[in-house]
Chains A and B, each alone.
Chain A
Amino acid sequence: MMMKYTDQHEWIRIEGDTGTIGITEYAAHQLGDVVFTELPSLGKVMAQGSEAAVVESVKAASEIYAPVSGEVIEINKALEGQPDLINTDPVGAGWFFKIKISNFAELDKLMEESAYEAFIGTSH
């Protein structure tokens, strides 16, 4: 299992060829109280960097981008009734969707945790 991060504040947890995707604690804090998520449909094939989902807070609506290419194999249905999971447990129960990763080479473009920590340190 490994975690990678994007400069759009998504995380992806890689287990075998499955990638679980969510937003970081930093992003969830910036958004404020999340009230709604619009998740992709099962079977949707997405390219790295394409718009995958929408997260809406009391302040703003933001796009979630696919960290790597793949096909959606599962979505987090719990978010429908409890969007606040994204605020309370962004890296755990607040995940958005899972994909079957189609191109592992794309992972190389993403950041390790230490690099991401440094990145948000500079983006304040």
Chain B
Amino acid sequence: MRYLAHTAASRKALLDSIGISSVDELFVDVPAQARLTKLLDLPLHQNEWEVERAFQSLAANTRQAGAGPFFIGAGAYRHHIPAAVDHLIQRGEFLTSYTPYQPEISQGTLQYLFEFQTQVALLAGMEVANASMYDGATATVEAVMMANRVTGRRKALLSNNVHPHYQGVIQTYARFCGFSEEKWEETPLLDDQVSCVVVQYPNFYGEIEDFRNLAANCQSKGILLIVVVTEIIALGLLMSPGEMGADIVVAEGQSLGCGLNFGGPTVGLFATREKYMRQMPGRVVGQTVDCDGKRGWVLTLSAREQHIRREKATSNICTNSGLCALAFTIHLTLLGEVGLQRLAKLNHQKAMVLATELSKISGVKLLNKTFFNEFTIQLPIPAETAVNELAQQGILGGVPVSRLLPNHRPNDLLIAVTETVTEIDLQRLILTLDTMCKGL
């Protein structure tokens, strides 16, 4: 028996009601070359151990991040996730429904989300945070749309130094959600049409910019400053975005608790000032007392959300990244404040060592004035060539900037250094690059 609920007749009724003639028409927005025109060429069926073996041999062709020197960052970072995290997220106390609408059976989930919000607000230097978004990029575009609601304006100014993927997500939303976005390089033009200015901290190239003047200028014109953080560990050392004068802080929380996960799932962080709280997207957990005066947690401010306010909701997001948020919270709790600071220092120190040594190589130039654990160097050869050669030697040496920005200088290489990088890893990268550049 096949467990397919739909019959040809019911499918036709559904298609008729939305006025299209085939299911394929639903996919017209997907570029034609990306659509399947015929079924995938898969073997019919195999038994379980045959399938396992087939997949093991496929997996053996993939180089794991942990298998050798690894310097890839550009928005996703390889950090050590303590073994306790994976163990604790599987405990029964957290196995309530992921949407904790019923507080009486979801106290475990609600309590950790409340802790999560507290941690995010503290890291961001903000007054309120939500119970998480899908990822850093969607959190950023939600921040832009929130700024549009708060200001009643519809133009976002994006710094050129914001991660290109994040810019892409904002452009996609702008096309369909009735706002415009413009790029700026040196200084943004703050006119009375502008709802928000979006900057990244540290920026895509690893540079740490001081936004205090920009924040003051934005404030004087009623424009919201949105600060994006893609490497949350940086906030263990840097002045918080809130202290710098940010109005909304959004971040990718992947570095804490989540592995690289092939690029996802990850966890988006979202925090803002209390005065904008009702315009904030997503779920919020609040602490309260029950009828006996005992402490407990509930979803609060739900009236802003889609399940109550329908099309007038602050956002379409009716969910959060529950499991990744839990892992984030447990990892950060295990570290504690001092632990996070020490981890951040360790990242920075290792990056300092590498940047200093690489700068000594003839023809190599460090392009950053400041950085946390990621920086950009200019090589005397195309970065793509260098990265491929390094990979031949078992070293994953970073991300050529031109891979994300095709018109960018081809010799620029983005290098990330986390606590997981060893002395030997550093030496191998330095020596291999040195030999490569000498051989010119």
- Where the two chains meet, the residues of A that have a C-beta atom closer than 8 Å to any C-beta of B are 35-36, 38, 56-61, 63
The distance in angstroms between the C-alpha atoms of A36 and B309, with both chains bound, is 14
Known: A56-B303, A60-B308. 16 other contacts (CB 8 A): A35-B303, A36-B278, A36-B303, A38-B278, A56-B278, A56-B304, A57-B303, A58-B303, A59-B303, A59-B308, A60-B303, A60-B309, A61-B303, A61-B304, A61-B308, A61-B309
Write out the residue numbers on chain B whose beta carbons fall within 8 Å of the beta carbon of A35. 303
A-B contact pairs, 20 of them (CB 8 A): A35-B303, A36-B278, A36-B303, A38-B278, A56-B278, A56-B303, A56-B304, A57-B303, A58-B303, A59-B303, A59-B308, A60-B303, A60-B308, A60-B309, A61-B303, A61-B304, A61-B308, A61-B309, A61-B312, A63-B312
Within 8 A of A (CB), among B275-324: 278, 303-304, 308-309, 312
The distance in angstroms between the C-alpha atoms of A61 and B304, with both chains bound, is 7
Q: Classify the secondary structure of B's interface with A.
A: helix
Write out the residue numbers on chain A whose beta carbons fall within 8 Å of the beta carbon of B304. 56, 61
Give B249 Cβ to nearest chain A Cβ, in Å.
Answer: 23
Write out the residue numbers on chain A whose beta carbons fall within 8 Å of the beta carbon of B308. 59-61
Give the interface centre of A35, A38, A56, A57 by most chain B CB atoms within 10 Å.
Answer: A56
The distance in angstroms between the C-alpha atoms of A94 and B303, with both chains bound, is 20
Give A34 Cβ to nearest chain B Cβ, in Å.
Answer: 11
Nearest CB in chain A to that of B152: its residue: A41
The distance in angstroms between the C-alpha atoms of A59 and B309, with both chains bound, is 10
- Where the two chains meet, the residues of B that have a C-beta atom closer than 8 Å to any C-beta of A are 278, 303-304, 308-309, 312
The distance in angstroms between the C-alpha atoms of A61 and B305, with both chains bound, is 9
Write out the residue numbers on chain B whose beta carbons fall within 8 Å of the beta carbon of A38. 278
Write out the residue numbers on chain A whose beta carbons fall within 8 Å of the beta carbon of B278. 36, 38, 56
Give B206 Cβ to nearest chain A Cβ, in Å.
Answer: 41
Write out the residue numbers on chain B whose beta carbons fall within 8 Å of the beta carbon of A61. 303-304, 308-309, 312
The distance in angstroms between the C-alpha atoms of A35 and B303, with both chains bound, is 10
The distance in angstroms between the C-alpha atoms of A36 and B304, with both chains bound, is 11
The distance in angstroms between the C-alpha atoms of A59 and B304, with both chains bound, is 11
Give B280 Cβ to nearest chain A Cβ, in Å.
Answer: 13
The distance in angstroms between the C-alpha atoms of A98 and B309, with both chains bound, is 26
Write out the residue numbers on chain B whose beta carbons fall within 8 Å of the beta carbon of A63. 312
The distance in angstroms between the C-alpha atoms of A38 and B276, with both chains bound, is 12
The distance in angstroms between the C-alpha atoms of A63 and B312, with both chains bound, is 10
Write out the residue numbers on chain B whose beta carbons fall within 8 Å of the beta carbon of A59. 303, 308
Give A62 Cβ to nearest chain B Cβ, in Å.
Answer: 9
Nearest CB in chain A to that of B303: its residue: A61
Give B243 Cβ to nearest chain A Cβ, in Å.
Answer: 28
Give the interface centre of B278, B303, B308, B309 by most chain A CB atoms within 10 Å.
Answer: B303
Write out the residue numbers on chain B whose beta carbons fall within 8 Å of the beta carbon of A36. 278, 303
Give A20 Cβ to nearest chain B Cβ, in Å.
Answer: 25
The distance in angstroms between the C-alpha atoms of A35 and B278, with both chains bound, is 11
Write out the residue numbers on chain A whose beta carbons fall within 8 Å of the beta carbon of B309. 60-61
The distance in angstroms between the C-alpha atoms of A63 and B304, with both chains bound, is 12
Nearest CB in chain B to that of A38: its residue: B278
Nearest CB in chain A to that of B304: its residue: A61
Give A57 Cβ to nearest chain B Cβ, in Å.
Answer: 7
Write out the residue numbers on chain A whose beta carbons fall within 8 Å of the beta carbon of B312. 61, 63
The distance in angstroms between the C-alpha atoms of A38 and B308, with both chains bound, is 17
Give the interface centre of A36, A56, A61, A63 by most chain B CB atoms within 10 Å.
Answer: A61
Write out the residue numbers on chain B whose beta carbons fall within 8 Å of the beta carbon of A58. 303
Give B302 Cβ to nearest chain A Cβ, in Å.
Answer: 9
The distance in angstroms between the C-alpha atoms of A44 and B278, with both chains bound, is 22
The distance in angstroms between the C-alpha atoms of A63 and B303, with both chains bound, is 12
The distance in angstroms between the C-alpha atoms of A27 and B303, with both chains bound, is 17
Give A74 Cβ to nearest chain B Cβ, in Å.
Answer: 21
